[in-house]
């Protein structure tokens, strides 16, 4: 056995402490890369042998940094997750969108711009940049002053509301996803090029306004160049924040020309490989500028993989199963996909890299929400949050320094598309009898059981219409203990009514207080119902039952 000299250990510790302290003395640059619809099993760092796609750059980032294993978005669908991430506030607290048109014409939800990551970091002296998918609502200049829509936008006039209003000095965005018109970029709220064409892409082929030269397969490369441009323009001594929001591997599955045919898995693998390339481009840009040693790089995804995505370019219900038949599992070891209440839709990768601070090759099993970025960045940059700022954000900064430490967060509220999901320790409660996907949508096909089947089965156990209080108990809810049932196969709700009641009480308390953190009571922007039996997202026969 090799004997270690205790004096040597002490000296190493003494030398290490100033090094870590020195790295913390200067505000770090921060780069956050957010993939779109990337499943936790789509990367080698998380998927292991069940991942058949080469992701060398993401894997390298994890090997030289910190890999979190219990991280969650606020919803298993795009917009709400991005809103909570940007504001540190649960998305269901905000009111309905205003002046809202279809898809990329969606309007903002009032107060979304009040407290944001951009404004937080500007307050701390940061230069702030946003590149990529926006999907947080815009206000466009319309032709008649009324609702923005396909035929009612003046693309020669700037956006009235966008990243500029969220505190970003520089921005280059696509308003929505890559399969959501308008297909045009806006730089600092100003439309780029000539928006005079009508285009649509594979997947859903939504045809709408487009910039005349816009091509779907060029979007990622365009974003990478913009990210490089932003980093290249930064001056040493002034910290910066770059939010790089990718449009991949969200449909349309459109890898660039240089990436087509790269993956043995097929075109879906090609697109994920080009997504992986984002890390390489960012790291190279940082090194070229000499900024890599005091930069915190974070990589994550907004939720799980879409069940309609895969190697068939047209969005095809349940086609993700065809990837699994080949041996590739986008959800990793978990159940479900995008839109669902299950972990395949609500568990995402999160990797942190920061030389001299984050231990190399480390892992943290602490519970973290993407809505925790606001409080984390505030702590890292020395900004004190006001009583009404980031009311649902809890810092995980201590885990960056010490991944084995106990996390601060104990519980987390999430949603699928509508149904609430509550985490409390290792317990997880889903307030719906099925997968939680939209009631009448084929997009979620592949998530089982479907709402139709699950609600019929639950209601069959009642001779009369259930009371509202009964809808918050078995058989209308699902309770899992993720510590020994990570695939969520065993619904324990009927056997643990007390546990269900306590978790419902936790949700009600956080709704009533307007916050989930310590501080004075706040008001939500709208009235919140835990179960809305008249909601259009439920199967029609369920709505009819409760009329």
10 Å CB burial of residue 195 (0-12, 13-18, 19+) is: buried
409 close to 508: Cβ distance less than 8 angstroms:
no
Residues 448 and 387 in one domain: no
376 close to 396: Cβ distance less than 8 angstroms:
yes
Q: How far apart are the first and last CA of the chain?
A: 75
Q: How far, in Å, are 4, 379, 415 from residue 395 at the CA level? A: 36, 7, 21
CATH of the domain at 86: 3.40.720.10
- Helix 56-63 vs helix 267-289: crossing angle, to nearest 10: 50
Residues 279 and 360 in one domain: yes
Q: What's the rounded Cα separation, in Å, for the pair 492 and 9? A: 48
Phi, psi angle pair for 438, to nearest 5°: -55, 140
Residue 9 within a domain: no
Please name which of 42, 43, 36, 156 lies closest in space to residue 85, comparing C-alpha atoms.
36
Residue 5 within a domain: no
Q: Three-state SS for 355?
A: coil
Angle at 422 between CA 444 and CA 114, to 5 degrees: 85
Low pLDDT (below 70) residues in the chain: 1-25, 439-441
Residues 235 and 117 in one domain: yes
Q: How far, in Å, are 93, 129, 431, 473 from residue 510 at the CA level? A: 10, 33, 15, 19
Domain boundary pick from 389, 410, 431 = 410
Residues 318 and 396 in one domain: yes
Q: What's the rounded Cα separation, in Å, for the pair 119 and 187? A: 18
Domain boundary pick from 353, 379, 410 = 410
Residue 16 within a domain: no
Residues 397 and 446 in one domain: no
Q: What's the rounded Cα separation, in Å, for the pair 124 and 117? A: 11
- Token reading at 87: 């504001």
> Residue 366 has what pLDDT?
98
Q: What's the rounded Cα separation, in Å, for the pair 300 and 376? A: 15
263 close to 273: Cβ distance less than 8 angstroms:
yes
320 close to 337: Cβ distance less than 8 angstroms:
yes
- Token reading at 325: 């038949």
Residues 400 and 432 in one domain: no
- Token reading at 502: 């306590």
Domain boundary pick from 380, 410, 440 = 410
Q: What's the rounded Cα separation, in Å, for the pair 221 and 217? A: 8
105 close to 155: Cβ distance less than 8 angstroms:
no
Q: What's the rounded Cα separation, in Å, for the pair 234 and 464? A: 66
Residues 154 and 220 in one domain: yes
pLDDT digits (tens, 9 = 90+) for 410-432: 999 999 999 999 999 999 999 99
Considering the entire predicted model, what is its pTM?
A: 0.95
Q: What's the rounded Cα separation, in Å, for the pair 36 and 302? A: 6
Q: Domain range for residue 153?
A: 30-410
Neighbours of 522 (CB within 10 A): 15
Residue 383 within a domain: yes
Residues 419 and 401 in one domain: no
Residue with tokens 């203990």: 481
Phi, psi angle pair for 184, to nearest 5°: -160, 150
Q: What's the rounded Cα separation, in Å, for the pair 154 and 146? A: 12
Residues 459 and 537 in one domain: yes
DSSP letter, residue 404: T
99: left (phi over 0), alpha (psi -120 to 50) or beta: left
> Residue 536 has what pLDDT?
79
Residue 373 within a domain: yes
The full DSSP string for 200-259 is --TTT---EEEETT--GGGHHHHHHHHHHHHHHTPPTTS-EEEEEEEEEESSS----GGG
Q: What's the rounded Cα separation, in Å, for the pair 173 and 206? A: 19
Residue 2 within a domain: no
Residue 146 within a domain: yes
Q: What's the rounded Cα separation, in Å, for the pair 175 and 158? A: 13
Give the number of domains in the chain: 2
CATH of the domain at 442: 3.30.1120.10
pLDDT digits (tens, 9 = 90+) for 289-331: 999 999 999 999 999 999 999 999 999 999 999 999 999 999 9
Q: What's the rounded Cα separation, in Å, for the pair 217 and 79? A: 23
Residue 387 within a domain: yes
Residues 405 and 422 in one domain: no
The full DSSP string for 430-481 is ESSSS----TT-GGGTTSSS-HHHHHHHHHTT-SSPPPGGGGGSTTSSEEEE
Residues 452 and 401 in one domain: no
- Helix 219-232 vs helix 267-289: crossing angle, to nearest 10: 10
Largest Cα–Cα distance in the chain?
81
Residues 211 and 312 in one domain: yes
**Alpha carbon 381 to chain centroid, angstroms:** 23
């Amino acid at each position: 056995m090799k004997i270690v000299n205790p004096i040597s250990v002490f000296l190493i510790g003494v030398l290490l402490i100033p090094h870590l302290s020195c790295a913390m003395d200067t505000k770090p640059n921060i780069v956050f890369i957010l993939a779109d619809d990337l499943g936790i099993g789509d990367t080698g760092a998380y998927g292991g042998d069940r991942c058949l796609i080469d992701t060398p750059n993401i894997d390298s980032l994890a090997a030289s940094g910190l890999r979190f294993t219990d991280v969650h978005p606020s919803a298993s669908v795009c917009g709400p997750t991005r809103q909570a991430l940007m504001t540190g506030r649960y998305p269901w607290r905000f009111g309905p969108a205003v002046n809202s048109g279809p898809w990329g014409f969606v309007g903002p939800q009032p107060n979304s711009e009040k407290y944001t990551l951009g404004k937080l970091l500007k307050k701390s002296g940061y230069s702030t940049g946003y590149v990529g998918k926006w999907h947080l609502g815009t206000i466009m200049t319309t032709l008649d002053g009324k609702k923005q829509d396909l035929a009612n936008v003046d693309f020669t006039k700037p956006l009235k509301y966008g990243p500029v209003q969220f505190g970003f000095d520089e921005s280059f965005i696509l308003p929505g996803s890559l399969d959501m018109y308008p297909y045009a970029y806006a730089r600092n709220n100003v439309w780029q090029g000539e928006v005079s064409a009508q285009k649509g892409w594979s997947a859903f082929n939504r045809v709408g306004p487009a910039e005349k030269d816009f091509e779907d397969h060029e979007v990622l490369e365009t974003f990478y160049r913009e990210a490089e441009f932003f980093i290249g323009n930064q001056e040493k001594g002034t910290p910066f924040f770059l939010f790089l929001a990718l449009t991949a591997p969200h449909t349309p599955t459109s890898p660039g020309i240089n990436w087509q045919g790269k993956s043995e898995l097929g075109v879906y693998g090609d697109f994920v490989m080009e997504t992986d390339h984002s890390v390489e481009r960012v790291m190279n840009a940082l090194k070229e500028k000499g900024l890599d040693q005091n930069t915190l790089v974070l990589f994550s995804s907004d939720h799980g993989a879409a069940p309609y995505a895969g190697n068939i370019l047209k969005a095809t219900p349940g086609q993700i199963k065809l990837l699994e038949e080949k041996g590739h599992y986008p959800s990793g070891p978990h159940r479900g996909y995008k839109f669902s209440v299950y972990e395949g839709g609500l568990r995402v990768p999160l990797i942190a890299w920061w030389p001299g601070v984050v231990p190399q090759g480390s892992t943290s099993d602490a519970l973290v929400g993407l809505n925790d970025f606001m409080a984390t960045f505030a702590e890292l940059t020395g900004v004190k949050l006001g009583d009404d700022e980031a009311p649902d954000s809890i810092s995980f900064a201590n885990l960056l320094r010490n991944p084995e430490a106990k996390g601060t967060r104990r519980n987390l509220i999430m949603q699928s598309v509508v149904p609430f999901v509550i985490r409390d320790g290792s317990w997880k409660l889903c307030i719906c009898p099925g997968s939680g996907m939209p009631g009448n949508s084929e997009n979620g096909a592949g998530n089982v059981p479907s709402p139709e089947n699950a609600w019929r089965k639950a209601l069959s156990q009642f001779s009369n219409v259930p009371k509202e209080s009964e809808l918050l108990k078995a058989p209308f809810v699902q309770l899992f203990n993720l510590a020994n049932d990570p695939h969520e196969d065993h619904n324990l709700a009927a056997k643990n009514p007390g546990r269900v009641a306590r978790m419902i009480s936790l949700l009600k308390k956080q709704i009533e207080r307007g916050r989930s953190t310590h501080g004075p009571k706040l008001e939500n922007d709208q009235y919140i119902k835990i179960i809305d039996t008249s909601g259009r997202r439920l199967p029609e026969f369920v709505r009819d039952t409760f009329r």
